[in-house]
Amino acid sequence: MCARLVLDRHSQPREKMEEVPLKAVPEFQDVQLRDEGIVILWKGGHRSIFPHRYLRLRCQCAHCVEEWTGRPMLDPDSVPPDIKALDYMEVGRYALQFLWSDGHYTGIYTLEQLRRWCTCLECQEKGGEAASSL
C-alpha cells in the first residue's frame, strides 16, 4: 500500500517536505453545510462552527484580496446577510473550496487557516486570531 501521503504542492521541492511534519497540517474528518453554519469536525474530536458569512468575508482569493498588497477588496456590504455555502470540495489534502450562494467560488481556505479561525469559546479563550480580530 501507499507508504506515505505527500502533499500535492508541485512548487515545493522534495527536501522541503521532509522538514514539515505532516501532522502540522490539521486534518478534518467531516464537513457539514448546515443552516446555522459550516461545521468542521477535526481529527481528534474538535468541532468548529463557522457562520457562513464569516467565512465568505474571509475569502483570500484574488478578487477579494489584492494579491500583492493583501489589501481587502471585498466590500462587506456587497455580501448578502443570508449568504450560504451551497457546496464544498477538498483541495488536495490541505484546503477546502466553497461554492457560495452569490456564485463566488474562487477562494481556497487552508485547513490551517480554518483551524486558526475557529470561533468556539475554547479557542477564543486560548487567544486565537478570531478572538482578536472580531
What minimum distance in Å lies between the beta carbon of 14 and Zn ion? 31
C-alpha span between 118 and 121 (Å, rounded): 9
> Which residues sit at the interface with Zn ion, rule CB under 5 A?
59, 61, 63-64, 107, 118, 120, 123
What minimum distance in Å lies between the beta carbon of 16 and Zn ion? 28
Cell reading at 134: 472580531
Judged by CB, which is closer to Zn ion: 13, or 127?
Answer: 127
Judged by CB, which is closer to Zn ion: 16, or 116?
Answer: 116
What minimum distance in Å lies between the beta carbon of 121 and Zn ion? 8
CA within 13 Å, CB half, 45: 0
E strand or H helix at 54, and its extent? helix 52-57
